[in-house]
Amino acid sequence: MIQRSWKIGGLALLGYVLCMIFFVPLGPGLLEFTSTGSAGHVQDQDRKVTVYALTGFGTHWTESPDQLTVVLRHGTQLASLPLIETLDATHVLVGMDLPYTVPSKSWDVLVTHPVDGTLLLENGVFLQDRFIDEQTKWANPEIAEYPAELPFHFPYQPQILETIRNLMLHVPMWFTMFLLMGISFVASIRQLSTAHDLHQDTKAEASVQIGLLFGALGLVTGSLWARYTWGAWWVDDPQLNGALVTVLVYAGYLVLRATIQNIRLRARLSSVYNLFAFVILIILLMVLPRFSESLHPGKGGNPGFNSYDLDSSLRAVFYPAVLGWMMLGTWMYHVRLKASSIERKLRQLQ
């Protein structure tokens, strides 16, 4: 019964996680703010201004378009830009009517809208045709702020965009592998202390087999993510190298087992190697990445996802995902262990 609830609980959690991954929309964000190069008129003004195109992601700018405000920000200085035309829900044209002397050339772009709330594009625009006078100041305009009225959604993150969903697949794979390799580590220690019985050795082997499967899936999901966000299937990075080498080390464990015919010797030698392998796993995945710079999220200290990056909507799916994959992993390990034990008993009977 306990086994069955384990199985059902894990699958239920993963069902919930997969539904969330596929059906929860991504929140709105700003993609880019660029000059169109042409000049245009702003309503009620004679002066010609350069027209800029603002591109959003998943925004709702056609709903109440007159309440959309585009603001430039540098430090505490704000400037509101006049709207020229709302093209569709994610494209809008604005006029760049900043004075010719400005305190900075680089500005953040902020957009407030009743549906989307406040959106930010950091250092979104660089004004090449303006002059810098750091003393320049003008009165800040009044900006209406709206609380966002959006259904449950994942946060928009530049570069990552829709692939944020991979967080629920990629990261738990490695957590599950850690768990299984930990089980294997404990089993190997117990195998060395109880020489007469080979059950612990079977446990260690089964958990490494399933752990390697999760490690391989972690590499595949990571590679897909790297292709999307960094532009390459594989990049030279301490975290990635560590992950690959860990998988190789455990593949070596299975090779070692395959070379030894005597089962008692095999149990002992592979347990010894397994202890080395786990120490190397800790060094490669938890110690070395902290030593070095890495592209991988959490660079500069923490090799995992930084807690600041996880907002409540991601947590609501990420924690169940971790738990679900771990439960699935341990269930797979139990099935594998049962099969191996039966095989071993059959061989003894023959």
Partner 1 sequence: MRNKHGIAGLAVFAIAAVYTCYQATGMHAERESWNALAWVVLLFTAFNAVSKPWADDASNMRSFLLHTVKPQDWLLARILYYSLMLLGLGALIFAAFLLFLGMDPFTGSGALFFFLGIEATALALASLLAMIQALAARAGGGFSLIAVLGLPLIIPIILVSTRYGMDIMKGIAFGDTAHHLLFLATLTGGFTALGYILFPYLWRD
Interface residue list for partner 1 (CB under 8 A): 192, 238, 241, 245, 248-249, 252, 255-256, 259-260, 265, 268-269, 271-273, 275-277, 279-280, 283-284, 288, 291-292
CB closer to partner 1 out of 39 and 248: 248
Distance (Å, whole) CA 54 – CA 253: 55
For residue 337, the minimal CB distance to partner 1 (Å) is 23
CB closer to partner 1 out of 209 and 271: 271
CB closer to partner 1 out of 94 and 284: 284
Q: Are 58 and 24 in contact (CB under 8 A)?
A: no
CB closer to partner 1 out of 74 and 268: 268
CB atoms within 10 A of CB 262: 9
CB atoms within 10 A of CB 118: 15
For residue 251, the minimal CB distance to partner 1 (Å) is 8
For residue 300, the minimal CB distance to partner 1 (Å) is 16
CB closer to partner 1 out of 47 and 196: 196
CB closer to partner 1 out of 296 and 336: 296
For residue 224, the minimal CB distance to partner 1 (Å) is 24
For residue 65, the minimal CB distance to partner 1 (Å) is 55
Distance (Å, whole) CA 270 – CA 105: 63
DSSP, collapsed to helix, strand or coil, labels residue 36 as strand
CB atoms within 10 A of CB 97: 15
For residue 296, the minimal CB distance to partner 1 (Å) is 15
Q: What is the DSSP letter of 110?
A: E
DSSP, collapsed to helix, strand or coil, labels residue 164 as helix
CB atoms within 10 A of CB 17: 23
Closest to 319 measured CA to CA, from 6, 11, 9, 13: 13
